[in-house]
Amino acid sequence: MSREKILQATWELIQAEGIESITARKIASQAGTNLALVNYYFGSKEQLINEVVKQRLQAFREAFEVLDETTLAPMARLRRFLLSYSDVLLKNPELAKRLFSQEDLFASHVEYLAFLKQQGFEKLINTLLEIVGQASREKVLLMIQHLFGAIFIPLVIRRGFNPVISASLIDSPTSLEERIDLFLECYFALFQAKQETE
């Protein structure tokens, strides 16, 4: 039970203060335990944070699982993935910023990035190929950049970003679901029209 309390306390501190500002003493205090017990379970603050990050990154991995649901049409799978991944980004802004900046990564971050390269992006590429038909890998990778740039990056930079830019360009009165639907409708209109005429 103490191990789980320490993990939870660490996550709460990461969310409240960011990874850089937390200490093993703060973690022990937040968990209602002592420093010796934190070190006993995890060895060091870095190993403890790595474990917490690893647990939280599991939700990022799980978002890609919807792309395996071949009973859904490819556009429906893509939409569901975008909604799911966006939700995870919003719930984990500290981890998301670190992943996108790729600075001061923990071993669990590196492990997740390897998953993205070996599995996650492949699932996304295959889904996009189903939607657009014959296309080069380079073109599909460019499409993934557009998806990330239009949908995910604004979610990551909205906190701690220039408030004037954030208020005028990033924050929107429309829901995330509406923004994703608009993007998909506009971005894939050409491909949808082509499929309808074939």
Per-residue pLDDT of the chain (198 residues; tens, 9 = 90+): 589 999 999 999 988 888 888 899 999 999 999 999 998 999 999 999 999 989 988 999 999 999 999 999 999 999 999 999 999 988 887 777 777 776 677 888 889 889 999 999 999 999 999 999 878 889 999 999 999 888 888 887 765 544 454 555 455 667 889 999 999 999 988 776 555 555
- The boundaries of the domain holding residue 77 are 55-197
80/77 Cα distance (integer angstroms): 5
Burial of 146 (0-12, 13-18, 19+ CB in 10 A): exposed
Identity of the amino acid at 73: A
Residue 119 counted as domain residue: yes
71 and 10 both lie in a single domain: no
Q: Give me 86's structure tokens.
A: 């966006």
- Tell me the angle at which helices 35-42 and 45-63 cross, rounded to the nearest 10 degrees: 60
115 and 165 both lie in a single domain: yes
Residue linked to tokens 């599995």: 119
What confidence score (pLDDT) does residue 189 get? 86
Domain count, the chain: 2
What confidence score (pLDDT) does residue 176 get? 87
Residue 167 counted as domain residue: yes
Residue 50 counted as domain residue: no
User: For the whole model, what pTM was predicted?
Assistant: 0.81
What confidence score (pLDDT) does residue 79 get? 96
What confidence score (pLDDT) does residue 122 get? 95
Give the CATH number of the domain where residue 91 resides: 1.10.357
Residue 115 counted as domain residue: yes
115 and 18 both lie in a single domain: no
Spatial contact of 120 and 131, defined as CB atoms under 8 Å apart: no
What confidence score (pLDDT) does residue 192 get? 65
What confidence score (pLDDT) does residue 135 get? 81
89/64 Cα distance (integer angstroms): 13
